[in-house]
Amino acid sequence: MSRYRRYDGGDPLAPPIDLAEALDAIGEDVMAGYSPERAMQEFLRRGGQDQTGLDDLARRVAERRRELLQQHHLDGTLDEVRELLEQAVLEERKQLARDAMMDDGDRAFREMRMENLPASPAAAVTELADYDWQSREAREAYEQIKDLLGRELLDQRFAGMKEALENATDADRQAIDEMLGDLNDLLEKHARGEDTPEDFSDFMAKHGQHFPENPQDIDELLDALAQRSAAAQRMLNSMTAEQRAELMQLSAQAFGSPALMQQLDRLDQNLMSLRPGEDWGGSEQFGGGEGLGLGDGTGVLQDLADLDALADQLAQSYGGARLDDVDLDKLARQLGNEAAVDARKLQELEQALRRSGAMERGYDGELRLTPKAMRQLGKALLRDVAQRMSGRQGQRDLRQAGAAGDLSGATRSWEFGDTEPWDLPRTMLNGVLRRAGDPGGRLLAIDDVEVAETEARTQAAVALCVDTSFSMAMDGRWVPMKQTALALHTLIGTRFRGDDLELIGFGRHAQTMRIEELTALDARWAKGTNLHHALLLANRHFRKHPNAQPVLLIVTDGEPTSHLESSGDVFFSYPPHPTTIALAVRELDNARRLGAQTTFFRLGEDPGLARFIESMARRVDGAVIAPEADDLGAAVVGSYLGSRRGGRGRSGGPDGPGTYGDWFGSRGFWVG
């Protein structure tokens, strides 16, 4: 059975949500020191390549708010009253000039009243309350003033009343007065806790036509009324003292009786006591040229309140904020359906990220990237490394790295740059199957070719020692360092599972770290570059794997300035103390005796560091690579792959020859 629902907007042919793009961006921010929760929120704020972000929606909300304030002013009702008053006075003067039968004294008195009316429209309307109009047109214009005031005051509290009560009869006004009385009685009964659902039902059955919101219970009724009434109060607060005084004086003339204003005052008091959380005290600064009546002005103030609420929801700056909090109906009313569709996509993206298994909460309650997310991020970084190493975007994959090794038993489709042997049975079978559907085709096509995957013959014990001193973060090398570690970790975990990788971070002291710990590591201000401690941990790793080829990779931007003493305490000295250097050299010698192939990755242009690294590399017949930060991952992965092929060498680079590998001139680093 088919099920249908109303189409809710958006492009039905739009591409699905791109979690890969989101996870890449989130992972990069996490490696820069953000928590996964904050990294996710930052991505939602920025948006993606084809996805509007929260910041853009918030900007449009702010622009809409500014537009409303710059478009309107609050004299609309006073302007209408002024025009009707001028019309009444003009018609009355015409009638007095035409009326020859009138007593001259009476006419002079009436003309004097017309001439000496107060400048204030409110005062003039009040003074003419007992005037006996001679002109029918003048009387009708004056009555329109009282009718207008009554409709505007009602429209402030009940949207649409101004139009609904146009040309209203006395019976209509009486019905409104009865509705207000019943409403106030119901609210006061509710405040005392004495009302029942039947009381609400009876009220709606009698007066429901005045409530287009169609509230389902008294709380919904209260919410709708209180929001409108609070907006009316904010509009009054936004007026100048003179404007407020004029309106207060005019209000007594609404429908020709102060009874309406008394009922509305009673209603406002009931709503304020039942919904004190509404904004009853705010105000706005209007500065436009389009006048607003009381009802329309209240509507604009409600729009401004909606925009303020949307701004808070889009800011997501409060505790426990979720994109589900964004009111899509309000957003559609204020910015259009397209904005609501964009926000709904962000909501779906947030939900998909939380459901995708990319993030989880640890025992400490903190959100963190899962191993699944780390693998996906590592694969993306590895693809980038492959592109940098090849110099030809996408033309060479790192899967060819084990070409000289043993067959693994698995096959895969041939790709440009592959050097693995063809798997002839699989290749011929693919050709036969293809020709069964295309008898006239060629015997073999390039798409039929499959190659045999290989594995390296020797196992390696790899120690990647990365400098985690504060200078790495200060000089913009923190994220590239983490990306490098993750790319190498992914390569070994997916293509060289027989190798054993140890990640070692060294700052004031050194420590072995899981990849999740390293990628989440935040920069800390602690003096010291403890290469001695890092080498101790690396040699311990090599001794645990006596049958594996040791590979030592050291990434640093500074000379050793601290070492581990026999007591376990850390000794620090800058400039480097001779003992610190001696202990680091001793452990490097131990690594060489264990057979380690050593490569130093020197970051920065410090001449002292360059001399020190060069001398250390020569001592152990190692290599020195001086990559730019962005090329660090390609340099480290390339060096590791060179060691897997049995490469050995001395230091080298763009300034001189070396035997460690190939110089990729387009990338500016020496790769083993």
In terms of pLDDT, which residue wins out, 514 or 11?
A: 514
Tell whether 296 is covered by a domain.
no
The reply to whether 431 and 466 lie within a common domain is: no
Q: Identify the pLDDT of residue 651.
A: 40
CA distance 474 to 526: 12
Closest CA to 251 of 125, 79, 119, 80: 125
CA trace torsion 178, 180, 185, 186 (10° rounding): 110
Find the helix or strand (DSSP H, E) in which 372 lies.
Answer: helix 371-390
Q: Identify the pLDDT of residue 648.
A: 45
In terms of pLDDT, which residue wins out, 550 or 121?
A: 550
How confident is the model over 407-422, as a mean pLDDT? 73
Tell whether 52 is covered by a domain.
yes
Q: Identify the pLDDT of residue 555.
A: 94
How confident is the model over 174-189, as a mean pLDDT? 91
In terms of pLDDT, which residue wins out, 567 or 154?
A: 567
pLDDT at 326 over 80: yes
Q: Identify the pLDDT of residue 662.
A: 36
Residue 258 CB coordination number (10 Å): 13
Three-class SS of residue 395? coil
Q: Identify the pLDDT of residue 138.
A: 92
CA trace torsion 145, 146, 152, 157 (10° rounding): 170
Find the helix or strand (DSSP H, E) in which 56 lies.
Answer: helix 54-71
Point out the least confidently predicted range of 1-15, 67-81, 314-328, 622-636.
1-15
How confident is the model over 102-118, as a mean pLDDT? 85
Instruction: Quick: pLDDT tens for 357-393.
Output: 666 666 655 666 766 777 777 777 777 777 776 653 3
Point out the least confidently predicted range of 8-17, 116-125, 283-292, 610-619.
8-17
Q: Identify the pLDDT of residue 664.
A: 31
The reply to whether 97 and 218 lie within a common domain is: yes
How confident is the model over 529-546, as a mean pLDDT? 95
Point out the least confidently predicted range of 109-113, 398-402, 475-479, 620-624.
398-402
Among 398, 424, 455, where does a domain finish?
A: 455
pTM of the model: 0.58
Tell whether 376 is covered by a domain.
no
How confident is the model over 278-303, as a mean pLDDT? 81
Among 137-151, 411-425, 500-514, name the most confident range: 500-514
How confident is the model over 123-132, as a mean pLDDT? 88
Q: Identify the pLDDT of residue 397.
A: 37
Tell whether 290 is covered by a domain.
no
Q: Identify the pLDDT of residue 240.
A: 83
Backbone angles phi, psi at 120, to 5 degrees: -70, 125
In terms of pLDDT, which residue wins out, 506 or 608?
A: 506
How confident is the model over 505-528, as a mean pLDDT? 86
The reply to whether 536 and 478 lie within a common domain is: yes
**Overall domain count for the chain:** 4
Range of the domain at 126: 75-285
Q: Identify the pLDDT of residue 191.
A: 93
The reply to whether 47 and 62 lie within a common domain is: yes
The reply to whether 52 and 84 lie within a common domain is: no
The CA–CA distances, whole Å, from 465 to 296, 531, 537, 670 equal 69, 8, 9, 19
Three-class SS of residue 439? coil
How confident is the model over 482-504, as a mean pLDDT? 88
pLDDT at 396 over 50: no
pLDDT at 418 over 60: yes
Instruction: Quick: pLDDT tens for 575-601.
Output: 899 999 999 999 999 999 999 999 999
CA distance 199 to 118: 48
Mean pLDDT across the chain, nearest whole number?
A: 81
Beta strands in 268-346 (DSSP E): 290-291
Instruction: Quick: pLDDT tens for 338-360.
Output: 899 888 888 888 887 777 766 66
How confident is the model over 131-158, as a mean pLDDT? 87
Three-class SS of residue 150? helix
Instruction: Quick: pLDDT tens for 611-655.
Output: 999 999 999 999 999 988 888 888 888 888 877 665 444 344 333
Tell whether 618 is covered by a domain.
yes
Q: Identify the pLDDT of residue 197.
A: 93
Tell whether 400 is covered by a domain.
no
Tell whether 45 is covered by a domain.
yes
How confident is the model over 470-493, as a mean pLDDT? 86
pLDDT at 551 over 90: yes
Residue 132 burial (C-beta neighbours within 10 Å; 0-12, 13-18, 19+): exposed
Q: Identify the pLDDT of residue 361.
A: 67
Q: Identify the pLDDT of residue 653.
A: 39
pLDDT band at 608 (very low <50, low <70, confident <90, very high): confident
Q: Identify the pLDDT of residue 670.
A: 31
Residue 316 CB coordination number (10 Å): 18
The reply to whether 100 and 31 lie within a common domain is: no
pLDDT at 666 over 80: no
The reply to whether 236 and 88 lie within a common domain is: yes
The reply to whether 68 and 79 lie within a common domain is: no
Q: Identify the pLDDT of residue 422.
A: 84
The tokens of 243 are what?
């404007």
The reply to whether 91 and 105 lie within a common domain is: yes
pLDDT at 415 over 70: yes
In terms of pLDDT, which residue wins out, 430 or 256?
A: 430
Q: Identify the pLDDT of residue 584.
A: 94
What are the contacts of 178-183 at 24+ separation with CB within 8 A?
A: 179/206, 179/207, 179/210, 180/260, 180/263, 180/264, 180/266, 180/267, 181/263, 182/206, 182/207, 183/207, 183/267
Point out the least confidently predicted range of 151-155, 280-284, 290-294.
290-294
Point out the least confidently predicted range of 64-78, 218-232, 289-303, 306-320.
289-303
CA distance 44 to 51: 9
How confident is the model over 4-12, as a mean pLDDT? 51
pLDDT band at 172 (very low <50, low <70, confident <90, very high): confident
In the chain, the percentage of residues whose pLDDT exceeds 90 is 28
Q: Identify the pLDDT of residue 613.
A: 92
Dihedral sign (CA 277, 280, 284, 290): positive
Contact (Cβ atoms closer than 8 angstroms) between residue 133 and residue 96: no
The tokens of 255 are what?
């429908």
Q: Identify the pLDDT of residue 643.
A: 76
The reply to whether 270 and 416 lie within a common domain is: no
In terms of pLDDT, which residue wins out, 467 or 383?
A: 467
Tell whether 395 is covered by a domain.
no
Beta strands in 440-593 (DSSP E): 450-455, 460-467, 500-506, 510-513, 549-556, 562-564, 570-572
The reply to whether 183 and 42 lie within a common domain is: no
Point out the least confidently predicted range of 163-167, 188-192, 411-415, 551-555.
163-167
The reply to whether 522 and 585 lie within a common domain is: yes
